[in-house]
Amino acid sequence: MSPTQADNLPAEPIKLNPIRETLYDENNYWTWLSKIKSALETHNLQDLTNPTIPRPIDPSPQYEHWKRTSQHVGLWLRMNLSPAVLKTLKTTLYADDTFSIIQTLILGDMSVRPKQVWKKAISTRRCQFATVEEYVETFRLLVHEANVLKAPISGYCAAMLLLGEVRGEMPLWACLMELKVTGDEEPVEMTETEFGGLCEGVLGQLRVKRRIEAVCN
């Protein structure tokens, strides 16, 4: 028997509270999505937003329970949208439809999105931003999105791009990090989590540099 969205649902009705993140646009989509997934997984409701998992057939013993729960989650998703996003969202009955439409509204055509994000990530430059912090945060989010969309950017590649772009502000530190990442004989394998740690390292070095400059001035 094929799995359905109803298979792992809790037996009793669940009340979901709004998350502490309202979806406004692409800029906070991944933060919003992370909190949405966390809330749903806490109650084992995550399958309801996955359109690749079939719905239960009507009639079936699970159908009515699935229907009520999916509608509840669909309404809950709407509660976490800004008025501007909500206004453009067409009426849907079930959670998987609601989630798919939200994703398309915010990210656009998902058939071309992976390629677009990958190209945008590898072409993002420090000079496009007012501060190093803005560059680092934007680049980190793009790398994460590319990996989520199965258009992977390795931790090593992301690290070398990042360090090359911030070398102007912190030449010695960036050079030392490049030597560490490249290794003695071959590149060091780096996970996305480790790349995130490198991003935090850049931001930390900036804070130290600015404190020193403030004291000297």
Cα–Cα distance measured from residue 49 to residue 37, given in angstroms and rounded to the nearest whole number: 9
Q: What pLDDT score does 214 carry?
A: 79
pLDDT digits (tens, 9 = 90+) for 125-168: 999 999 999 999 999 989 998 998 889 999 999 999 999 999 99
Q: Does residue 87 sit in helix, strand or coil?
A: helix
pTM: 0.63
Q: What is the pLDDT of residue 49?
A: 94
Whether 71 shows a pLDDT value over 90: the answer reads yes
For residue range 164-195, what is the model confidence (pLDDT) as tens digits? Answer: 999 999 999 999 999 888 876 677 788 989 99
- Taken in order 197, 200, 202, 208, the sign of the CA dihedral is negative
Q: Considering the chain, what percentage of its residues have pLDDT values greater than 70?
A: 98
pLDDT at 1: 62
Q: What is the pLDDT of residue 122?
A: 95
Q: pLDDT tens for residues 196-216?
A: 999 999 999 988 888 887 788
Please give the Cα distance from 98 to 89 (Å, whole number). 8
Residue in the block written with tokens 């530190």: 173
Whether residue 43 contacts residue 10, with contact meaning beta carbons closer than 8 Å, is answered with yes
